[in-house]
Amino acid sequence: MSALPTVGSLSMLLPFTLLAPLVAMLLIVFLPKEESKTIKIVAAMGMLVSLVLSLFAFYTYDRVLGGMQFTLTIPWIPDLGVNMAFGVDGLSLPMLLLTNLIGFCSIYASWNMDKRVKEYFILLLILIAGVMGTFIARDLFIFFLFYEIVVIPIYIMVIIWGSSKRVTKEYAGMKLTIYLLIGSAFLLVGMIALYLAAAANGNPTFMFDELAARQELFSPAFQKGAFALMIIGFGSLISMFPFHSWSPDGYAGAPTAVSMIHAGVLKKIGGYGLIRVGIYILPVGASFWAPYIATLAVISVLYAAFIALVQKDLKYVVGYSSVSHMGYVIIAIAALNPTAVTGAVGMMFAHGVMAALFFAMIGFIYEKTHTRNISELGGLAHQVPRLAIGFMIAGMASLGLPGTVNFVAEFTIFISAINVLPVQTVLGIAGIIFTAVYILRIIANVMFGPRRPEWDHLTDIRGPELVPLVLLAFVIFLGGIFPNILLGLIDSGVTSSGLAKVLEMVSQAKIGGLF
């Protein structure tokens, strides 16, 4: 039996993972629009290849060695120091797997799509590839390029295939796009500032590691100013208060697959960016702004959870819930210690899986009943028991039930942040109470109660529709029962990437009053 190839021999693994959905997209371009079933199969096969490759990367990643692996660097614009550089470590590899997991499930959540199928799946595959690119990029310019690619298909998909009763889908799509573009404008200014500061202290570069190596040459005033730009840019993306209002409307207006990707992985670019760019390259700025970020995070947790209590539309409940849960991620980032950062990345993964499952089930409910109004539903478990199981699993994960990966991530955040940010952490924990109330409310009012004859014609999810339920539920419980599969990998990334040393330096400097 031949041995597995070494990590060093797999430099093309990540480009192939990225290209798989794009190749599928190109094949779909040449298919007749009438061949809707073939189009869906090609899209599913492209995402299956990408998912298998990301699972292979997850399995073969050397946790003992750590650091960036499966790396590939190709000079692209040498005069500007731009490189087509790819690689993953314990921070980005879980996000890559999450993107492909949700992307694969989103294809099957869209299996019944019958409106402009060809264009829909072309845009969906471009969207997935764009998100994927942000997590495997090792060059800040390439990271930003992929982020900009994401905005275009989202806007088109919302205004064409979206649905919303509170606001028009055109309004939701435009609001979402404007917020993302405003955030990207602040990121662009911060990126240019970093580049110019780095160029003044050596060769011009956009590489994350090279920028981090020059962090001591960036003045405290520069770091504080640059990190403020990152807060607005990445904070808008992660829907941190007060930059959050686009998110629930965006969820409600988007088609099911876009809601899954939006909540599951698009928001996570914000948290990932705050860690990879903010803390890693600008630790002095991170230390200065951390208390303010933590305060905004607590407001996000409590305010959004309270608003979720009174929502009548299922998508708005989960939309505001998502804003609330991202507050936990921001609290962990603001704690600035290795365990908290591990919990933050774990929470991003856990929330992504849970939110994707929730939106998939809500999408099926809307597809079958043509309503998302909680008061118009009820007793659905009688007619669609498998859908009810998926809905309840997502709900239990959302409120952090022990045995789910969400419980592990939340617990890690709380125990690591409580000593650093005691008041903010305790207030954040109080958000769990609100979460339990609105989650149990929608489960009781939508799935349980007397059988309602008007829903007797409904058919339960079956065939391809079961893929999101089975796959995402499996990951939720696997990560909850065997947490080290995920957290062990993330911890190796925090330690080996040099982030742990940066956080230790921040802690010592704060004690010494240097910041």
Pairing mode, if any, of strands 69-77 and 82-88? antiparallel
Give domain status of residue 515, yes or no.
no
Q: Could you tell me if residue 38 is inside a domain?
A: yes
Residues with Cβ within 8 Å of 225's Cβ and at least 6 positions away in sequence, in order, are 193, 285
In a domain, 1, yes or no: no
Q: Domain of residue 162: give its range.
A: 7-508
pLDDT of amino acid 9: 59
- The string of DSSP letters for 140-163 reads HHHHHHHHHHHHHHHHHHHHHH--
3-state secondary structure of 7: helix
Separation between Cα atoms, residue 187 and residue 19, nearest integer Å:
26
Q: Residue 185 domain-assigned?
A: yes
Three-state DSSP class for residue 507: helix
- Cβ atoms of 146 and 134 within 8 Å: the answer is yes
CA distance linking residue 461 with residue 6, whole number of Å: 42
> How many whole angstroms separate alpha carbon 414 and alpha carbon 401?
15
Q: What is the per-residue pLDDT across 177-228, written as a single tens digit (0 to 9) for each? A: 888 888 888 989 989 998 888 888 778 888 888 888 887 788 889 989 999 9
Please indicate, yes or no, if residue 477 is contained in any of the structural domains. yes
Cis before residue 75, ω within 30 degrees of 0?
Answer: no
Domain count within the chain:
1
Measuring CA to CA, which residue among 503, 136, 465, 436 is closest to residue 286? 503
Structure tokens at 434: 């609100």
The DSSP symbol for 448 reads -
What pLDDT digit, counting tens, does each position of 327-370 carry?
Answer: 999 999 998 888 889 999 999 999 999 999 999 999 899 888 88
The pair of structure tokens assigned to 490 is 């993330």
Domain assignment of residue 513, yes or no: no
Has residue 56 been placed in a domain?
A: yes
pLDDT at 99 (0 to 100): 95
Measured distance CA(239)–CA(278) in Å, rounded? 17
Task: Confirm whether 430 is domain-assigned.
Answer: yes
pLDDT tens per residue, range 226-249: 999 989 988 888 888 887 777 777
Q: In this predicted model, what pLDDT tens digit does every residue of 412-438 receive, in sequence order?
A: 999 988 888 888 889 988 888 889 999
According to DSSP, residue 264 is labeled I
What's the rounded Cα separation, in Å, for the pair 493 and 401? 27
